[in-house]
Chain A
Amino acid sequence: MPDPSRERISADAVAKVARLARLDVSDDEIARMTGQLAVMLEHFADIDSLDLSDVAPMTQPYPLANVLRDDVVMPSLDRDEVLTNAPATEDGRFRVPPIIGLEG
């Protein structure tokens, strides 16, 4: 008899979410997270009893509309100072490994 809380999320779903979130996770981590996420999702089921059919979603607390400013040129960050923080640079730009994957 499987633990019903464990059915809320499967290890396969957790592995898929890890790929979506760009996180390398080991099989051990997937097993541990599956258990922990299942416990949380079980708790989160408390809102299933609420009637939300006529409720408008609330995305932010203060009713601000789009904030625009005049299109005036202002000083921006110094390129060299910004690039000193980058793991790898080349010719004043960020350097990255090949974009096209070697795998799959």
Chain B
Amino acid sequence: MVSFPSSAFDIAEAVRSGSVKAAAILEDHLGRIAEREADIHAFNLVTADAARVIAARVDDVVAAGHDPGPLAGVPIALKDNMCTRGVPTTCSSRILEGWKPPYDATVVSRLAELGAVFVGKTNLDEFAMGSSTENSAFGVTLNPRDTSRVAGGSSGGSAAAVAAAFAPVSLGSDTGGSIRQPAALCGVVGVKPTYGTVSRYGLVAFASSLDQIGPFSVDVRDSALILESISGHDPLDSTSIPQGPLDLLSVLDQDVKGMRIGRITDMPEGADPDVLGRLEAAFDALRAAGATIVDVELPTLKYGITAYYLIAPAEASSNLARYDGVRYGRRVDSVDTNSMYMATRAAGFGDEVKRRIMLGTYALSAGYYDAYYGKALKVRRLISDDFARAYGKADVLLTPTSPIPAFNVGEKADDPLAMYLCDVYTIPTNLAGHPAMSVPFGDSRDGLPIGVQVMASTLGERPMFKVAAALERHMVATGGRS
């Protein structure tokens, strides 16, 4: 029985040194996919043949005495809302079924240049709208830790793929918590970087002032490695911040002595007691490591749900207007263009997407714009200002990632508002454009993973990763018992 390195960092090191073949690493992961994917449904598509070609090419480069790059032979899963040239990209929607993008997303071409091996496209809530991956047109993704429960969402497939060791790392997108919440529910690391640090060229748009791509991984170091690899300016994305890649691996070993960790005294209520218990344990661990816990107030945080669920659907209703049956995807024929649009969209979109398009169209419509969308933009400013004051006192803030651990499949399916409330702790970050990440920090009494969210101010990824690494060190040292 051969034992392979499991982290992306160690895999790349072994493949570059020639001690392990990328092809062998790939087969190891494909073997686990063959074994468990039918029970999990992390993927919309497994691209085994294409992956074998790429892995063989990586091994050829090593054999020729060259370096394939810092991600040599690392299997990576991509959320199925990232464009892959010639490979179906569905957003888990019937309306895009069969669509093959004529270009690669920038994140895809960057990872490919660094030697990564793409294993497949992962399931999501349709157009990334949801918190459980139950809104997929192609079936639910189940939680590898307990398959009677959801994996979270919307990037549930990418979280589950890493939790089930189908790939050591994956990419997701986060508009209101869609990376961090499934990471917490599946017991893996998930990072939503600062708005503008990772190119969104080739990411199918949901809400353009909020969307951001980020990594999932088993440990903090792998997320740092992937984020270093995909961050940095891209001229093809005009919202991309003009700066180089983030420098994160170098901070992971630094200690947190003297850092100011913010505790939100007026945090929105409703979190499960086990979740709050693990949050307290995180504060204790950081205090023991030499950090200072400081109280901060964010009185407008509780209005985040309202601001988000007006702004995101408004932007989505505009972005999704492009699915009209003319240029790509599905068409339902009719006698004229207008009835063709209406029939195509009715048949192509699922319930949640329709609901959000309706909500957004209503919030933007004449007579309601000021009362809903206009007001939401002002509340967004208040939340952002509250954060600015809090980050004057604290380097990072700690909250739960999700108010509850993984819930049962179907539990919230008929209550859209209850589903929206799952995002109460993750949404404010997107409104402000800040970075935040979820770090696994023990289990509930029922044995379900619990994540702690580390949040930081604009471009505060370095202090954020430093604290995340300290929490992880504590988990390794204590085995999660304190």
**Known contacts A13-B362, A55-B378, A87 near B342 by CB under 8 Å:** no
- A-B contacts, CB under 8 A, total: 167
- Do B384 and A17 touch across chains, with their CB atoms under 8 A apart? no
Nearest CB on A from B314, distance (A): 11
Which positions in A face B, CB cutoff 8 Å? 9, 13-14, 17-18, 20-25, 29, 33, 36-37, 39-40, 43-44, 46-47, 50, 52, 55-62, 64, 67, 69, 77-78, 81-82, 84-88, 94, 96-103
Among A47, A64, A82, A101, point to the contact of B338 (Cβ < 8 A). A101
Nearest CB on B from A98, distance (A): 5
Question: Contacts of A85 on B, CB cut-off 8 Å?
Answer: 99-100, 102, 327-329
- Do A86 and B209 touch across chains, with their CB atoms under 8 A apart? no
A97 to B338, CA, bound (A): 9
- Do A97 and B337 touch across chains, with their CB atoms under 8 A apart? yes
Closest to B86 in A: A81
A65 to B423, CA, bound (A): 30
Closest to A66 in B: B238
Which positions in B face A, CB cutoff 8 Å? 99-100, 102-103, 194-196, 209, 235, 238-239, 241, 300, 302-303, 305-307, 309-310, 317, 321, 324-331, 333-343, 345-346, 349, 354-355, 357-359, 361-362, 365, 372, 374-382, 384, 416-417, 420, 431-434, 458
A98 to B335, CA, bound (A): 7
A13 to B238, CA, bound (A): 36
- Do A50 and B355 touch across chains, with their CB atoms under 8 A apart? no
- Do A47 and B99 touch across chains, with their CB atoms under 8 A apart? no
A55 to B195, CA, bound (A): 22
A60 to B458, CA, bound (A): 13
- Do B327 and A86 touch across chains, with their CB atoms under 8 A apart? yes
A86 to B325, CA, bound (A): 8
Closest to B325 in A: A87
Interface CB pairs A-B, < 8 A, 9: A17-B362, A20-B365, A33-B358, A50-B382, A58-B380, A62-B241, A94-B327, A98-B335, A103-B339
- Do A25 and B433 touch across chains, with their CB atoms under 8 A apart? no
Closest to B340 in A: A97
